[in-house]
C-alpha cells in the first residue's frame, strides 16, 4: 500500500510552499531583530543617562532604575521559572488545553519549544508502550557515540534472526551485507529498520544488551527514567519496556538539538550505496513526513518525525514542526486507530495551536 500512495501536491507546489515559509520566516525574524535592537538601544541610553547623573551630581542615585530586559517582557514572562535551567522539560500552565474526543489518539502532548510549556495534552504522563518511537533514543545514543559515519558494519545472522523471530520492520539487509554507519542511522528512522537499529547497537556498544544500558543511562540524564525504561532498541513490546508521550517528546527534543539526528529525522528519502545484495542500492522513505506535508497549512512544515506501532500501543508518532515565525513545536500521540488517523491528529493539533 505504501508504494501506491500518490501525493496531493506536486514537487513544484511543495517548493513554492517552502519558499513562502522561508520568506515569512525571514520577515518575522527581521522584525524580531529590530524590536530587540530597539530595546538594547533604549537600555544603552538609560545607562548613559545614569553615567551623566553620576558625573553631574557626584554620587549614585539612591534607587537606580533597572535596564529593560533584552527580550520583550511578554516573551520573558512566558518562560516558567521551574524550567529555566532545565532545557529538557516542559510545564503545564493555566492555559494548557485538556484534549478530549476531538482527536482519535488516546494519548497526546503538544509542546511549545520557545516557552517550554505544554499547549495541549491528553494522558501525557500515562505509561504506555512506545513501540518504534523507541528508535528515537536508539538514534540519539548512537549519534552521540559514533565518530566515523563512513565506517562500516556487516550484518550477522543473529540480527536477521532476531528481526524474523520478532516480526520486526526491516530495511532488508542480508547476512554478511556490509553497509556504512550513516546508512544504519537513516535505516533506523526512515523505514524503521530493526536490522539497522541492532547493527548500530552492536557497532556502538558491542552487544544489544550493552547498548540498551546506554539508552537507560540517557533516560536518567534526561530526567525521565521514572517512567521510561528500555529493554530493547527497536520497540518490541515488553511489560518492562515503557515510556509516556511526554517522555518521548523530551527524547525528540534532545534528538532535534543534535545536528546529526536532526538531519536524519528531517529526511524524506535517502538513497543507499550499491552492495552485492542490493546492486542498485535502496531508496528509504519516511512515509509520515511525505504524507503529512500534503495536509498541514502552507505556512507550517513538519521538520522531523518517527512513527511506531505495536498492538499494545496502537499507531503512534512523534513529530517536530515549525511555523512561519520560526516557532518550533513537538507533538507526540499514542493509540490512534490507524496510521492515517495518527497523521490527522498531528495535523489537527498543529493547525489549532501552532500555525
CATH of the domain at 255: 3.40.710.10
In this structure, are 192 and 262 located in the same domain? yes
Q: Which domain holds residue 154?
A: 131-353
Residue 112 belongs to some domain of the structure: no
In a domain, 276, yes or no: yes
Average pLDDT for 334-345: 97
Domain total of the chain: 2
In a domain, 321, yes or no: yes
User: Distance between CA atoms of 352 and 355, rounded to whole angstroms?
Assistant: 7
Q: What DSSP string describes 271-333?
A: EPPP-SSSTT--EEE-HHHHHHTTTS-TTEEEEEEEEEEETTTEEEEEEEEEETTS-EEEEEE
Residues 178-232 pLDDT 10s: 999 999 999 999 999 999 999 999 999 999 999 999 999 999 999 999 999 999 9
Say what the pLDDT of residue 80 is: 42
70 and 139 part of one domain? no
Residue whose C-alpha cell is 538609560: 46
pLDDT digits (tens, 9 = 90+) for 31-71: 666 766 777 777 777 878 877 777 777 654 445 445 544 44
Instruction: Write down the pTM of the prediction.
Output: 0.78
**Do 155 and 303 belong together in one domain?**
yes
Mean pLDDT estimate for the chain: 88
Q: Which tens digits make up the pLDDT trace of 252-267? A: 999 999 999 999 999 9
Q: Which of 14-18, 56-60, 317-321 has the lowest mean pLDDT?
A: 56-60
pLDDT of 4 reads 59
**Does residue 326 share a domain with residue 186?**
yes
3-class secondary-structure state, position 121: strand
Please tell me whether residues 151 and 268 are part of one structural domain.
Answer: yes
pLDDT at 87: 63
95 found inside a domain: no
Whether 197 and 330 map to the same domain: the answer is yes
Residue 167 within any structural domain of the chain: yes
Residue 341 lies in a domain: yes
Q: Judge whether 144 lies within some domain.
A: yes
Both 51 and 172 in one domain: the answer is no
> Does residue 82 sit within a domain?
no
Predicted confidence at residue 7, as pLDDT, reads: 66
* Mean pLDDT computed over 268-293: 95
Amino acid at each position: 500500500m505504501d508504494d501506491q500512495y500518490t501525493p496531493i501536491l506536486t514537487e513544484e507546489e511543495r517548493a513554492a510552499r517552502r519558499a513562502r515559509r522561508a520568506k515569512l520566516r525571514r520577515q518575522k525574524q527581521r522584525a524580531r531583530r529590530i524590536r530587540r535592537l530597539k530595546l538594547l538601544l533604549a537600555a544603552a541610553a538609560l545607562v548613559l543617562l545614569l553615567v551623566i547623573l553620576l558625573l553631574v551630581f557626584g554620587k549614585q542615585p539612591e534607587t537606580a532604575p533597572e535596564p529593560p530586559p533584552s527580550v520583550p517582557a511578554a516573551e520573558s514572562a512566558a518562560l516558567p521559572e521551574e524550567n529555566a535551567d532545565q532545557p529538557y522539560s516542559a510545564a503545564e500552565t493555566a492555559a494548557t488545553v485538556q484534549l478530549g474526543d476531538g482527536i482519535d489518539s488516546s494519548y497526546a502532548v503538544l509542546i511549545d519549544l520557545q516557552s517550554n510549556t505544554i499547549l495541549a495534552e491528553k494522558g501525557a504522563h500515562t505509561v504506555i508502550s512506545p513501540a518504534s518511537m523507541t528508535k528515537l533514543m536508539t538514534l540519539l545514543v548512537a549519534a552521540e557515540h559514533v565518530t566515523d559515519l563512513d565506517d562500516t558494519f556487516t550484518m550477522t545472522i543473529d540480527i536477521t534472526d532476531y528481526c524474523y523471530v520478532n516480526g520486526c520492520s526491516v530495511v532488508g539487509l542480508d547476512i554478511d551485507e556490509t553497509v556504512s554507519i550513516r546508512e544504519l542511522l537513516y535505516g533506523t528512522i526512515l523505514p524503521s529498520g530493526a536490522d539497522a537499529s541492532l547493527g548500530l547497537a552492536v557497532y556502538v556498544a558491542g552487544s544489544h544488551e550493552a547498548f540498551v544500558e546506554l539508552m537507560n543511562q540517557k533516560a536518567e540524564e534526561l530526567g525521565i527514567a521514572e517512567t521510561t525504561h528500555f529493554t530493547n532498541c527497536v520497540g518490541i513490546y515488553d511489560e518492562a519496556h515503557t515510556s509516556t508521550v511526554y517522555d518521548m517528546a523530551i527524547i525528540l527534543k534532545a534528538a532535534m538539538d543534535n545536528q546529526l539526528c536532526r538531519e536524519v529525522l528531517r529526511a524524506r528519502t535517502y538513497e543507499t550505496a550499491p552492495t552485492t545484495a542490493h546492486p542498485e542500492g535502496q531508496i528509504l522513505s519516511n512515509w509520515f513526513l511525505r504524507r503529512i506535508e500534503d495536509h498541514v497549512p502552507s505556512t507550517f512544515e513538519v521538520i522531523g518525525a518517527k512513527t511506531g506501532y505495536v498492538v499494545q500501543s496502537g499507531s503512534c508518532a512523534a513529530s517536530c514542526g515549525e511555523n512561519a515565525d520560526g516557532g518550533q513545536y513537538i507533538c507526540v500521540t499514542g493509540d490512534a486507530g490507524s496510521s492515517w488517523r495518527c497523521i490527522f491528529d498531528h495535523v489537527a493539533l498543529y493547525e489549532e495551536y501552532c500555525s
